[in-house]
C-alpha cells in the first residue's frame, strides 16, 4: 500500500537533492510496509500536522543540518 499523501507531501519540498527524495519515497511512500512505519503519516492519522521538514523516520531535517543564515 502506498501513502496517499506522497504526491503532495511538503517534506519533499525541503529536500534539495532529488535522489535523496527518491530514496525516502522508495523506503516509505512506495514500499508495502513503509507507510505503516512513516512518522509523518502517523502524525496525520493522530490529527496533528508534522513539520514540513520532518523526515518519514521522525527526524527533523533542520535539526540535523544547520541552516545557513
Is 58 within a domain? Answer: yes
Q: How far apart are the first and last CA of the chain?
A: 40
Domain count, the chain: 1
Is 16 within a domain? Answer: yes
Is 1 within a domain? Answer: no
pLDDT tens, the chain, 69 aa long: 578 887 787 776 665 567 777 888 899 989 888 888 999 999 999 999 999 989 999 999 888 766 554
Is 56 within a domain? Answer: yes
Q: Which residues contact 41 (CB under 8 A, 6 or more apart)?
A: 3, 5, 35, 56
Residue 22's domain comprises 6-64
Count Cα atoms within 13 angstroms, Cβ side, for 7: 2
Predicted TM-score of the model (pTM):
0.65
CA quadruple 66, 56, 51, 7: dihedral sign: positive
Percent residues over pLDDT 90 in the chain: 30
Amino acid at each position: 500500500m502506498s501513502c496517499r499523501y506522497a504526491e503532495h507531501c511538503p517534506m519533499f519540498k525541503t529536500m534539495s537533492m532529488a535522489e535523496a527524495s527518491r530514496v525516502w519515497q522508495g523506503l516509505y511512500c512506495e514500499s508495502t510496509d513503509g507507510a505503516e512505519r512513516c512518522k509523518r503519516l502517523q502524525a496525520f492519522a493522530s490529527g496533528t500536522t508534522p513539520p514540513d521538514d520532518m523526515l518519514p523516520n521522525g527526524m527533523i531535517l533542520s535539526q540535523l543540518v544547520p541552516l545557513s543564515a
